[in-house]
Structure 1
Amino acid sequence: MDKLRRVLSGREDNEELGLTAQVLDASTLSYSTRVKWFVICFAAGILCSILGTALLFLPNGLKLFAVFYTLGNVAALASTCFLMGPLKQLKRMFEPTRLIATIVMLLCLVLTLCSVFWWEKKGLAIIFCILQFLAMTWYSISYIPFARDAVIKCFTTCLS
């Protein structure tokens, strides 16, 4: 109980804070465990996205599509937390190079669900799903060195 009071009051010493940071960074998991859970979570994300696409053509399928597609993107995004830990993942998501892509991606995740359930605008939901895909792609390639530059150069060459 005394330890809990120290933690809550902020009087915990540096050694214990280091242990807390390790737990939050997922470093207590072995490398093979982190890779396994990354694969499981990423595969679940892909499965949800594919399932959502398959359900698109059912009656009321757009709602199911939006939910499963959004869940798939969230699961794929969360899968990287197993590799680098949630705190490091959040720090890297909001670095200046990824900030706009992260904000657009998170905003589109929410707006997709809002457009389907509250506003009931099917066209808007599809637009937000497309924007989700584009923002998630742009965010993902930001982790590959020079990939964004290559994509920009490719598009400018194709358009000119």
Structure 2
Amino acid sequence: MDKLRRVLSGQEENEELGLTAQVLDATTLSYSTRVKWFVICFAGGILCSILGSALLFIPKTGIKLFAVFYTLGNVAALASTCFLMGPLKQLKRMFEPTRLIATIVMLLCLILTLCAVFWWHKKGLAIIFCILQFLAMTWYSISYIPFARDAVMKCFTTCLS
């Protein structure tokens, strides 16, 4: 936008932009573009998770495909938020004290799911880690909604008592 203003006002662009300014100028996306790519990436993540669940019932290789696609789906859904707030801000918010434990459990379960399938060859353990992935991702996502964690905890304590 600044370039257009300079050209329209008759000022020539003799000054050189610094490297940081050039990178930021080249990588900024409009709000509508960010939202579109968020939706595309998030929908792709959901599609991968559903596809992984469908591939679970293929004999022999089904559990491996399930673990890979389900994990890939969760990573894509998590990465989709980078389009909304930017990758650095996303990483900073992921490791805030309010969601630190959920983030660590989620990332650990993503890794352990793949380890259970490819290195340890434990199908049941992979399923357990996928369930833990889901729960950790849900708890992590809820942390972005004000007072949602408190409401969920109150609901569970009410149901248990």
Please give the TM-score of this superposition, normalised by the length of structure 2: 0.85
Provide the C-alpha distance between the structure 2 equivalents of 1:47 and 1:154, rounded to a whole number of angstroms.
30
Q: Which runs of 5+ in 1 are unaligned?
A: none
**Unpaired segments of 5 or more residues in structure 2?**
none
Report the CA distance shift for 1:5/1:50 in structure 2 as closer, same or farther (over 3 A): same
- Percent identity reads 93
Which residue number in structure 1 is paired with residue 155 of structure 2?
154
Offset of 1:42 from its aligned partner?
0.2
Q: TM-score, normalised by structure 1?
A: 0.85
Structure with higher Rg: it is 2
Distance 1:155 1:15, change over 3 A: farther
After TM superposition, give the deviation of residue 10 of structure 1 in Å.
Answer: 35
Deviation beyond 6 Å, 4+ runs, structure 1: 1-19, 24-27
How far off is 1:23 after superposition?
5.4
- Give the direction of change, closer, same or farther, for the CA distance of 1:155–1:36 in structure 2 (3 Å limit): same
The alignment partner of 2:18 has SS state of helix
Is 1:61 aligned to 2:56, yes or no?
no
CA separation of 1:102/1:26 partners in 2, compared to 1, >3 Å: closer, same or farther? farther
Relative to 1, partners in 2 of residues 1:6 and 1:88: Cα closer, same or farther, differing over 3 Å?
A: farther
Which runs of structure 2 are paired with 1:1-160 in the superposition (5 Å)?
A: 20=20, 28-59=28-59, 60-160=61-161
Task: Report the number of matched residues.
Answer: 160
- Quote how far apart the aligned CAs of 1:4 are: 26
